[in-house]
């Protein structure tokens, strides 16, 4: 079986309602998705639910993918991220959670699955770019993205003014954007 491109698989999901195409996208990206959600919600059961919801949403809403807004992988991961944020907020409504803001240092080398191979170059670049940020900007971004905290919650957690939170997120994200805006990454340089 030849390796179909992500976009072809997504088209098969959308136009032919082909479950096998969805299964193959799942095989490519479920480890990335699950790794992300486990880090965010810190609960394997809730993480499985979020991953299942996200891939079912890929199945139902494949037509909402717009290739001009980025790769299929990034689109799937943003759906996964939204599912995780929803769950985090519901869990937090019940209890305050300790969020893992551990700084991702060396990422363990694991046997690569197909999607992993394609992701490894991007992974290296984003990890380097994130590692190059001043720690206060990086912490703000990680609290936002992985912790799902709002601007005002981050201000409370770090005991800094709201404006400082927005400033750190903005400086940090702009640096990442520029660091990644090099040829070959699909991001336009300014």
Partner 1 sequence: MMACAEVDELLPGLALGIATAAERRQLEDHLATCPNHPHLAELEEVAAMLPLTSPPQPPRDQLKHRLMARVYADLEPVVPRAPWWRRAGGWLAAAILAVVALGAGAREWFVSQQLASAPRSWALAPTGASAAQGTLVYLPQQGTATLALTQLPPLPSERVYEVWLIRGGKPEPAGTFKPAPDGSASVIVKGTPAGAEVVAVTEEPGPDGSPAPTTQPFIAGPLN
| Binding residues for partner 1 restricted to 18-77, rule: CB under 8 A | 19-20, 22-24, 26-27, 30-36, 38-39, 47-48, 51-52, 55-56, 59-60, 69-70, 74-75, 77
Q: Which residue has the tokens 């193959």?
A: 24
Q: How many other C-beta atoms can be found within 10 angstroms of the C-beta atom of residue 183? A: 7
Binding-residue total with partner 1 (CB under 8 A):
74
Inter-residue contact 6 to 65 (CB < 8 Å): no
For the bound state, the minimum distance from the C-beta of residue 53 to partner 1, rounded and expressed in Å, comes to: 9
Query: Among 12, 133, 139, 141, which residue interacts with partner 1 (rule: CB under 8 A)?
Result: 141
Give how far Cα 57 sits from Cα of 51, 60, 81, 88, 157, Å. 10, 5, 12, 18, 33
Helix pair 151-158, 135-145: axis angle to 10 deg: 130
C-alpha dihedral (169, 170, 173, 176), degrees to nearest 10? -120
Q: Judged by CB, which is closer to partner 1: 45, or 94? A: 45
For the bound state, the minimum distance from the C-beta of residue 59 to partner 1, rounded and expressed in Å, comes to: 5
Q: Judged by CB, which is closer to partner 1: 50, or 95? A: 50
For the bound state, the minimum distance from the C-beta of residue 74 to partner 1, rounded and expressed in Å, comes to: 3
Q: Judged by CB, which is closer to partner 1: 60, or 159? A: 60
Joined tokens for residue 24: 């193959």
Chain positions 95 to 114 lying near partner 1, rule: CB under 8 A, are 104, 107-108, 110-111, 113-114
């Amino acid at each position: 079986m030849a390796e179909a491109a992500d976009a072809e698989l997504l088209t098969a999901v959308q136009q032919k309602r082909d479950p096998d195409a969805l299964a193959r996208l799942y095989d490519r990206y479920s480890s990335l998705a699950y790794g992300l959600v486990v880090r965010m919600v810190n609960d394997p059961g809730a993480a499985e639910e979020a991953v299942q919801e996200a891939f079912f949403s890929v199945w139902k809403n494949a037509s909402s993918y717009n290739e001009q807004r980025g790769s299929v992988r990034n689109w799937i991961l943003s759906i996964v991220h939204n599912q995780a944020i929803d769950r985090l907020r519901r869990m937090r409504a019940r209890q305050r959670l300790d969020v893992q803001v551990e700084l991702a240092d060396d990422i363990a080398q694991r046997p690569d699955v197909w999607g992993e191979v394609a992701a490894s170059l991007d992974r290296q670049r984003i990890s380097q770019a994130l590692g190059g940020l001043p720690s206060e900007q990086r912490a703000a971004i990680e609290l936002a993205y992985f912790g799902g905290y709002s601007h005002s919650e981050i201000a409370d957690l770090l005991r800094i003014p709201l404006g400082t939170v927005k400033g750190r997120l903005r400086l940090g994200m702009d640096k990442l954007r520029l660091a990644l805006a090099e040829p070959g990454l699909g991001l336009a340089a300014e």
